[in-house]
C-alpha cells in the first residue's frame, strides 16, 4: 500500500544561495514539467530566498518551503521567523528537527514537536527529520534512537498531508556515505510501523523520505527501496541538473 505513495523529492539548500541563485531555481522550474509523472518537487531555500522562489513558482510545478521556524506565531524573538511568515510568502512546507539544528542549536525533540505544531498552525506541512549518529549506529542503537525521536518530535494528529518524516543518518549527511539498501529498508520499515501504530491508516500513507548523500548516481537504487517515498537532498539540490536527475530516478 505504501508503495503507491507519490514520491516527494525535497531540496534542502541549507545556508547556501544568493539572489543570483534564482537562475538555478528557474532551471528547476523549467525541467519540472517533464517529471510530473515521477514525483512532487519541493525546494527549501534559505529564508532570504523564499519570497523570490515562491513568486517564480506560481504555477505550482515546484513547491517552496522553509528550513526552520520558531514555535510562536509572532512576538519578541529577535532574529527568529514564524511559520505564519513563511506561509505569507507562499511556502507550503517547513523542515523541522534537521540534525544540523539539533546539533548547532541544541534543539530537543520537544522543541521540534512544537515547531511541527507551529507549521500545522500555519497550514503548512512539517518535514520532521530524525536519524542516528555514527556512534549510535555502531553501538546498535539506530532503531532505539529513531523510536525516541519519533515519539518526542511528532505531534498528535499527523496525517499524510500535514506530515513528512525524513530519515537522515547523521553520518551520511554531506559525507558521500550512504547506508546499504538493506539498512535503509530496515529503518524505513521500522518507521512505517511506528507511524501506523500511532496514526493508524494515515500512518500508512505518510511519506518517509531518505536523506543523506543522495545524488543522481544512487537515487534510483535508494528510491526503489520499500517504504522510501522520496528523498531529502542537500548538496545535490543546489544544481538543477542533479536535482532533476534525482527526481527522474524515482520508480
Ligand atoms: P546531503 O544533505 O544530501 O548534502 O547529504 C542532506 C540533508 O542534510 O538534508
CATH of the domain at 117: 3.20.20.70
- CA 231 to centroid of ligand 1, rounded, Å: 9
2, part of any domain: no
Domain range for 85: 8-248
- CA 10 to centroid of ligand 1, rounded, Å: 10
176, part of any domain: yes
* Euclidean distance between CA atoms 79 and 96, whole angstroms: 17
Tens-binned pLDDT, residue by residue, of the chain (251 aa): 445 899 999 999 999 999 999 999 999 999 999 999 999 999 999 999 999 999 999 888 999 999 999 999 999 999 999 999 999 999 999 999 999 999 999 999 999 999 999 999 999 999 999 999 999 999 999 999 999 999 999 999 999 999 999 999 999 999 999 999 999 999 999 999 999 999 999 999 999 999 999 999 999 999 999 999 999 999 999 999 999 999 999 99
45, part of any domain: yes
Residue ID of nearest Cα to ligand 1 atom 1:
234
172, part of any domain: yes
Beta strands in the chain (DSSP E): 8-12, 40-44, 63-66, 93-96, 125-130, 163-167, 207-211, 230-233
Grid cell 539540490 is found at: 237
Which residues are part of the catalytic machinery?
98, 168
163, part of any domain: yes
Q: Which of 245, 243, 219 is closest to 230 using CA atoms?
A: 219
Ligand 1 neighbourhood includes 212 CB (under 6 angstroms): yes
- CA 58 to centroid of ligand 1, rounded, Å: 26
What's 6's DSSP letter?
P
* Euclidean distance between CA atoms 172 and 131, whole angstroms: 10
Ligand 1 neighbourhood includes 153 CB (under 6 angstroms): no
Coil, strand or helix: which one is 200? helix
For the chain, the domain total comes to 1
187, part of any domain: yes
3, part of any domain: no
Q: pTM of the predicted model, to two decimals?
A: 0.98
1, part of any domain: no
Ligand 1 neighbourhood includes 174 CB (under 6 angstroms): yes
Amino acid at each position: 500500500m505504501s508503495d503507491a505513495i507519490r514520491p516527494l523529492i525535497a531540496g534542502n539548500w541549507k545556508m547556501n544561495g544568493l539572489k543570483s541563485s534564482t537562475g538555478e531555481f528557474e532551471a528547476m522550474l523549467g525541467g519540472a514539467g517533464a517529471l510530473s509523472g515521477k514525483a512532487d518537487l519541493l525546494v527549501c531555500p534559505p529564508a532570504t530566498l523564499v519570497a523570490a522562489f515562491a513568486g517564480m513558482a506560481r504555477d505550482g510545478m515546484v513547491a517552496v518551503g522553509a528550513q526552520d521556524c520558531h514555535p510562536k506565531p509572532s512576538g519578541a524573538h529577535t532574529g527568529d521567523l514564524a511559520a505564519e511568515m513563511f506561509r505569507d510568502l507562499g511556502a507550503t512546507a517547513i523542515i523541522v528537527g534537521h540534525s544540523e539544528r539539533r546539533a548547532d542549536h541544541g534543539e530537543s525533540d520537544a522543541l521540534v514537536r512544537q515547531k511541527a505544531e507551529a507549521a500545522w498552525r500555519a497550514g503548512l506541512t512539517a518535514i520532521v527529520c530524525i536519524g542516528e549518529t555514527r556512534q549510535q549506529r555502531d553501538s546498535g542503537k539506530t532503531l532505539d534512537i529513531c523510536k525516541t525521536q519519533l515519539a518526542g518530535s511528532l505531534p498528535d494528529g499527523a496525517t499524510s498531508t500535514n506530515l513528512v518524516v525524513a530519515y537522515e543518518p547523521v553520518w551520511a549527511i554531506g559525507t558521500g556515505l550512504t547506508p546499504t539498501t538493506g539498512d535503509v529498508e530496515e529503518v524505513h520499515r521500522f518507521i512505517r510501523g511506528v507511524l501506523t501504530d500511532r496514526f493508524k491508516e494515515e500512518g500508512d500513507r505518510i511519506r518517509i523520505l531518505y536523506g543523506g548523500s543522495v545524488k543522481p548516481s544512487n537515487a534510483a537504487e535508494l528510491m526503489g527501496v520499500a517504504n522510501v517515498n522520496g528523498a531529502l537532498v542537500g548538496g545535490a539540490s543546489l544544481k538543477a541538473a542533479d536535482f532533476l536527475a534525482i527526481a527522474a530516478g524515482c520508480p
